[in-house]
Amino acid sequence: MTTWRMAFRVGPRGHEMWPQCLRLGVAAITYAPLAYTDLSVHPKCEPKGLWMRLAPTQKASLGRLAYEMKKGDVIFVKHADRIICQGIVKSKYRYDSEHRIIDPNGLPWSHQVPVAWDTSFPEVKILLGGEQVTVKKLLQGNVNNLETKREEAKQSYEKAEAIEGEAYKREALFRARNRALIQAKKQDSDYRCEKCGFSFYELYGDIGKNFIIAHHLEPISLRREPSKTTLDDIVLLCANCHAMVHRKQPPLSVNDLELKKPSGL
């Protein structure tokens, strides 16, 4: 088994063809001189006249996909400075005569190997050398480094999901226990933003009647367990002010939110 790193861009900073390759379950490549040549019906590196028109790095990349990749090989997908997916090669090179993948320059990416892509692969920020080479064979040291980074990313994602899930459960429980309190806060108000004075009813009419957002002065996500809340712990805000206090983490206090009068008014 050989491990490869492969990019799917049109040129160094061009259009990204990876989504189409993922959708069709292939790894694909093209270069203008050989875009319409089925390499499987020619001897290796033939027709010579067309191969001679390729740059050395292009010859190397196309040759690796057409002649070296085999069933069971692993491909890691390069996107800028990251590895974003992994796949297992299902069979050797084939030429896609249907030209299902066409790049913005009108060239078919018909040199392909079928691949079973693993979309659960955690994105890893890593450079493995030879960044200008489209198809690179990875040394064992590269693979070991990548596997270490992948395990670190996986653990990080799992931790983030656990924290997010726990925060969601706390918030759901909090809101369930305080729904009546929030409703009481709203009913005892004029449904105006307590920061800027905005009224949804005055601007939108009936559709905005009795609408306002309840903002908790102590963020629910920071509470380790359900705690007592009073009417004074809730402030009513319009959508704009509510969004602005949550632009920071932890949220800004309502008092610290500075209102500026738009220029020209």
Confidence label for 265 from pLDDT (cuts 50, 70 and 90): very low
168: nearest Cα among 220, 210, 234:
220
- Residue 7 structure tokens: 């990019």
Least confident segment among 64-78, 110-124, 195-209: 110-124
pLDDT in tens, 15-31: 889 989 998 999 999 99
d(CA 10, CA 187): 59
> What integer pLDDT is reported at residue 163 of this predicted model?
46
pLDDT in tens, 117-169: 987 777 788 777 777 789 999 888 888 888 888 777 666 655 544 444 555 55
pLDDT in tens, 234-245: 899 999 999 999
> What integer pLDDT is reported at residue 162 of this predicted model?
45
Percent of the chain topping pLDDT 90: 51
- Residue 245 structure tokens: 């206090």
Confidence label for 223 from pLDDT (cuts 50, 70 and 90): low
Q: DSSP class of residue 219?
A: -
Query: How do strand 74-79 and strand 3-7 relate by DSSP bridges?
Result: parallel
d(CA 74, CA 90): 10
